[in-house]
Amino acid sequence: MAALGGKLTKKLVENLSAGRHGDGAGLYLVVDPSGARRWVVRVTVKGQKNAKGAPLRTDFGLGGADVVTLNQARERALEYRRMAKSGLNPRFNASREVPTFEELSRQVHIDRMPTWKNPKHGQQWMNTLRDYAFPKIGRMPVDAIGQPEVMMCLAPIWTDKHETARRLAQRIKTVLDVGRSRGFRDGENPVTAVKEAGVLPKVKAKVVHHDAMPWRDVPAFYAELEGRSATAAKALQFTILTACRTSEVLGMTWDEVDLDARLWTIPAARMKGGVQHRVPLTGEMLRVLEPMKALASVYVFEGQKRHRPLSNMSMLMLLRRMGRGDFTVHGFRSTFRDWAAEEAGAPREVAEAALAHQVGSDVERAYARSDLLERRRELMVAWIIICTQRMGE
């Protein structure tokens, strides 16, 4: 077939920077930040609608630019457009070669992009495969990958980086499952076979304990913080009082705060568990927040750059400057939990709710409709009295 014309050239394909570069007629060269290059074609399938009733427009991967030339990509794109124009979905009708593991992985990543919790999560999914799978099996056709190839990826990091290895196994399994569903391979998923065979050693999960300040030492430390006017000091005071995570406090914006209702509502997108969390604000918490209004920023605790939050290291560095480098900011959550159990005698469900921890089974949580806000407010008032050594709110 004669070469088809377009906007791209061989030189451009080799040298274009990260981004999505059009060749025309729906064909694109996608260059990842890592430098990886792949072809994608966008077509509209005649007579077919998506779930919203709009014409079915879909992206299809045509392979990596290191193995599929520009002319080959144009020819494949033309084939896909002809099928779509005649009402055939290329996903089921294109005559495709078996893709490599890397090609299929990148296509799965594109297909699942709308489902990621956030862009960072999606990038982490791909980065794990890029770092630990692609160097070993990336160029292999997906139908050639079996247990030995899976072991090549997992065994070197199974013990030393077990959590990473566990996630890698799950992501390899997902790609190979998709490969089977699209007719590129058959038989049992080798990741499942490797796990069931017991050839990988059992690894005891490591529990990370954040060094926590004893709760009886908090009042003296809080008094030291009181003497500091820096934003990091105010942020740390607020973190201690609310027992919230660093990211939750530093990402706090004024539109999340209802001063009249004395309530801070953290949206689900900013919560580790993906569930909205309401924090009752006491008088002391509001007193800490008051001087932050003068910054007139989107963020409550603004950093050095205008309308940007403090660095996530700011409070930890403050602890070190104050000679408390043996403790961590996250550890104050444990400090609060120890006090709630040892001194306050708080019910477990109330203390755990204050920390935004999920308690019980899925069924139990389904029936536990209340977030115990008012009971948590009482507990936080008692905690503030301990921290500040004041007799009331």
- The per-residue pLDDT for 274 is 85
**What does residue 277 show for φ and ψ, rounded to 5 degrees?**
-130, 130
**pLDDT for residue 1:** 37
Q: Which residue has the tokens 């009082």?
A: 241
Distance CA(102)–CA(297), nearest Å, equals 44
Looking at residues 9-37, what average pLDDT do you find?
A: 88
Residue 368: pLDDT band (50, 70, 90) is very low
Confidence bin at 248 (pLDDT 50/70/90): very high
Instruction: Supply 127's token pair.
Output: 């980065």
Distance CA 99, CA 184 (A): 8
Tens-digit pLDDT profile for residues 285-340: 999 999 999 988 999 999 988 889 999 899 999 999 999 988 999 999 999 999 99
- At 91, is the pLDDT very low, low, confident or very high (cuts 50, 70, 90)? low
> Mean pLDDT for the chain?
85
Q: Which tens digits make up the pLDDT trace of 98-110?
A: 788 998 999 888 8
Task: Report the pLDDT averaged over residues 71-84.
Answer: 86
Q: What is the secondary structure of 139-189 as a DSSP string?
A: TSBGGG--HHHHHHHHGGGTTTTHHHHHHHHHHHHHHHHHHHHTTS--SS-
- pLDDT at 157 exceeding the cut of 80: yes
Instruction: Specify the pTM.
Output: 0.51
Helix (H, G, I), strand (E, B) or coil at 299: strand
Across residues 167-172, what is the average pLDDT? Answer: 94
How many whole angstroms separate alpha carbon 179 and alpha carbon 98?
9
When pLDDT is cut at 50, 70 and 90, the band that residue 262 belongs to is very high
Domains of the chain as residue ranges with CATH: 1-95 (3.30.160.390), 97-207 (1.10.150.130), 215-388 (1.10.443.10)
Handedness of CA 347, 350, 355, 359 (dihedral sign): positive
Q: What is the mean pLDDT of residues 22-46?
A: 86
Query: Sign of the CA dihedral 300, 306, 310, 312?
Result: positive
Residue-level pLDDT at 66? 75
- pLDDT computed for residue 185 by the predictor: 80
pLDDT one-digit tens code per residue, 109-156: 888 877 766 676 778 888 899 999 999 999 888 888 999 999 999 999
User: Which long-range CB contacts under 8 A does 293-297 form with residues at least 24 apart?
Assistant: 295/231, 297/254
Backbone angles phi, psi at 14, to 5 degrees: -80, -20
Res 233: pLDDT: 96
Separation CA 316–CA 370 (nearest Å): 34
CA angle 109, 112, 117 (to 5 degrees): 105
Confidence band of 46 (pLDDT split at 50, 70, 90): confident
pLDDT at 93: 60
**Has residue 391 got a pLDDT over 90?**
no
Task: Dump pLDDT digits (tens) for 330-367.
Answer: 999 999 999 998 888 889 889 999 999 876 545 444 44
- Cα 354 to Cα 341: distance, rounded to the nearest angstrom: 13
Helix or strand or coil: residue 173? helix
